[in-house]
């Protein structure tokens, strides 16, 4: 519970946690290879040249290889048609070397993101965005869970232990973070609220939360005095702001310097949630591989 959060300091070091998780995944990937001759394969598709997406995709490919998995990279130019991308997704669905498929978002505007996501084989949907996986998550079935909320949940459980009964507020209602995050917390028996841009008196809603997840993409929206004393604060925001002198820097959705004076536990930006997202992508790729081959994923779970 949040009140017990302070023993190991206020900061939640997502970077260190993610590094440990990647090590354990690498070990399980090696075991899977020894026991079954299998090497998980992850295909990442990038359309266009968005600089931030290029950085993410490179990082995903490198960490996939470091985990002992096979990385398949596919790049289409910014003018690619929806039909071209759908054709590629269908080929990846059929390719037995590919166990996970991730189409980097956002997509150029001539391509309907929903149509692409729905074309991905749900069993290979390591992003957990296919409606089948979203439905399974809300019904408590064996879903592929979106990587960022899964990473947030792992950090919370590592710091707080069982979350049962905690009052949680998810700030943001995207399909990729806010909604699945709320489902995951509900499955952990939290009392969950979802707040968003139209919520009245956001500050008061935040002050009630023992667990506060900020995922709205608004730099330092959550002020220090919005944080309930002792609360666990997970900051999903990655916002590039002007730092003066012609430079930029990354800040989260939370005013970290002020919030850390009140929080019982808080993730920094960078070095909090970000590194967990790719680690969870590797985790999903490993478990998708096991499921596709009829191997209980628990036998190769990194713990
Ligand atoms: N763009 C930013 N984050 C993500 C993510 O988690 N998955 C995909 N597919 N695209 C993203």
**What pLDDT sits at residue 259?**
98
The pLDDT tens digits of the residues spanning 223-237 come to: 999 999 999 999 999
Strands (E), 5-113: 41-47, 70-76, 100-103
The CATH classification number of 146-275 equals 3.40.50.720
Q: Full-prediction pTM beyond 0.85?
A: yes
Q: Are 126 and 281 in contact (CB under 8 A)?
A: yes
**What pLDDT sits at residue 6?**
45
Asked if the domains 37-121 and 146-275 are classified in one and the same CATH topology, the answer is: yes
The CATH classification number of 37-121 equals 3.40.50.10860
Does the beta carbon of 104 lie inside 6 Å of ligand 1?
Answer: yes
Q: Which of 127, 235, 253, 255 is catalytic?
A: 127
Reduced 3-state DSSP string for 167-225:
EEEEECCCCCCHHHHHHHHHHCCCEEEEECCCCCCHHHHHHCCCEEEECCCCCCCECHH
Q: What is the residue extent of each domain of the chain? A: 37-121, 146-275
**What pLDDT sits at residue 4?**
44
Q: Are 239 and 218 in contact (CB under 8 A)?
A: yes
User: Encoding tokens for residue 214?
Assistant: 């900020």
pLDDT profile of the chain (303 residues), mean per 10: 54 98 98 98 97 94 98 98 98 98 97 98 98 97 96 98 98 98 98 97 98 98 98 97 94 98 98 98 98 96 92
**What pLDDT sits at residue 269?**
98
The pLDDT tens digits of the residues spanning 249-285 come to: 999 999 999 999 999 999 999 999 999 999 999 999 9
Question: For atom 8 of ligand 1, which residue has the closest CA?
Answer: 104
Question: For atom 9 of ligand 1, which residue has the closest CA?
Answer: 104
**What pLDDT sits at residue 9?**
84
**What pLDDT sits at residue 303?**
83
**What pLDDT sits at residue 7?**
39
Ligand 1: nearest atom to the Cα of 277:
6
Does the beta carbon of 105 lie inside 6 Å of ligand 1?
Answer: yes
Q: Which of 44, 106, 127, 151 to mutate to test the pocket of ligand 1 (most atoms within 8 A of CB)?
A: 127
Q: How far is the CA of 269 from the centre of ligand 1 (A)?
A: 17
Question: For atom 11 of ligand 1, which residue has the closest CA?
Answer: 105
- The number of beta carbons lying within 10 Å of the beta carbon of residue 105 is 15
């Amino acid at each position: 519970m949040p009140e017990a959060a302070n023993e190991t300091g206020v900061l939640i070091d997502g970077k260190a946690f993610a590094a440990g998780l990647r090590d354990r995944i690498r070990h399980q990937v090696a075991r899977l290879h020894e026991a079954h001759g299998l090497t998980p394969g992850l295909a990442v598709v990038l359309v266009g040249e968005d600089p931030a997406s290029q950085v993410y995709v490179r990082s995903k490919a490198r960490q996939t290889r470091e985990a002992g998995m096979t990385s398949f990279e596919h790049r289409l130019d910014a003018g690619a048609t929806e039909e071209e991308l759908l054709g590629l997704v269908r080929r990846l669905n059929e390719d037995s070397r590919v166990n996970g498929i991730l189409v980097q978002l956002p997509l150029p505007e001539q391509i309907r993101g929903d149509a692409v996501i729905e074309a991905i084989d749900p069993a290979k949907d390591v992003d957990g965005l296919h409606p089948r996986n979203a439905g399974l998550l809300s019904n408590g079935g064996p879903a592929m869970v979106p990587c960022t909320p899964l990473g947030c949940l792992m950090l919370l459980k590592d710091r707080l232990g069982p979350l049962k009964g905690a009052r949680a507020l998810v700030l943001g209602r995207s399909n990729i973070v806010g909604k699945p995050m709320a489902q995951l917390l509900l499955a952990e028996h939290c009392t969950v609220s979802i707040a968003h841009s139209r919520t009245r008196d956001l500050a008061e809603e935040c002050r009630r939360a023992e667990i506060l997840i900020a995922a709205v993409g608004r730099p330092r929206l959550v002020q220090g005095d919005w944080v309930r004393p002792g609360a666990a604060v997970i900051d999903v925001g990655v916002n590039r702001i002007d730092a003066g002198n012609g430079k930029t820097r990354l800040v989260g959705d939370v005013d970290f310097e002020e919030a850390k004076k009140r929080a019982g536990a808080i993730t920094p930006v960078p070095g909090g949630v970000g590194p967990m997202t790719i680690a969870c992508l590797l985790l999903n790729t490993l478990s998708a591989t096991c499921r596709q081959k009829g191997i209980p994923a628990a036998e190769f779970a990194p713990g």
